[in-house]
A = this chain, B = another copy of it.
């Protein structure tokens, strides 16, 4: 068996803990070698995963020569600083989406990744979901002919806290939420030429307080002429509903599901089943498969499956979608 990749995990909040367990247990070629968080109370919990080193400061982790790669699962505002430090120290980098909420920062990160040449994997777990993956393979094999329309929905079962939604931290609904669909759209259809967005505060009046919206529809024109539309909602109160459809000239592909428990109840009120509660139930496996892919490509000296340039391009499109909404006009992307 090949030597394991020693991964240092930076950020062990709710999402970071999932990465910690996945790295410790579910990715055979990876070792969770160290963890770092500003909250010292997590140290003991992390140790139960098999004695990884603990750092209170990410810079110390990065300086640890035993660490081959870092996985960054910190608040987005810290990404730039940590990525640059890790890249300059020569570590391979995995970074959770979004790369940044600032285009300037994103471009700066891109330059550093380019100049240092480190392996950088931009985290978009949906690309590793078995449904999306199988769809992509079928598109690439020509099974649906020429793709004509990308049509996706992303719906959260409830809104995040207003603090979380505040565009100063989240970047707003396009960057926080829509960027997943934008990334899938680019992956499956090609680069985006222009976008047009409508939206509003339609479900939670208090969202006006922070200056974000809770529902939106974004149309996409791809550089190759194909069409796209994404609808985003914070008020999919019936469950976590993530779907996409790719219509081609020979058929269509539908990805997604909306059922958690394999039980159907039939009574006088009709036929009924449950829905998917939230993102971890839906994408648990995709997170693992993404880490697996990160480690495999890194080990094998292959290029990362999702690049820093993807992170930048996705952000540019999400920015354009935000601008389109504000200025009520279609916005062309500069270099699709």
Mark A residues whose CB is within 8 Å of B.
1, 24-26, 48, 50, 129-131, 134-135, 138, 143-144, 146, 148-149, 151, 153, 155, 196, 198-200, 202-203, 215-217, 219, 221, 225-229, 231, 233, 235-239, 241, 247, 249-275, 328-330
Contact = CB atoms under 8 A, between A and B. Distances in A.
A317 B215 CA distance: 23
A229 B236 contact: no
B198 A249 contact: no
Contacts of A24: 25
B215 A227 contact: yes
Contacts of A236: 247, 252
A44 to B, nearest CB: 10
Contact of A249 (B203, B257, B266): B203
A227 to B, nearest CB: 5
Contact of A25 (B25, B221, B229): B25
Contacts of A25: 24-26
B233 A247 contact: yes
A215 B149 contact: yes
Contact of A50 (B50, B221, B329): B50
Closest 9 CB pairs of A and B: A251-B267, A131-B262, A238-B266, A25-B25, A257-B262, A254-B264, A272-B272, A148-B202, A131-B263
B247 A271 contact: no
B250 A225 contact: no
Contact of A217 (B135, B227, B262): B227
A14 B247 CA distance: 30
B330 A215 contact: no
Contacts of A274: 270-271
A148 B203 contact: yes
A219 B219 contact: yes
Contacts of A138: 263, 265
Contact of A237 (B149, B199, B229, B268): B268
A199 to B, nearest CB: 7
A131 B275 CA distance: 13
Given A219-B217, A263-B253, A148 B233 contact: yes
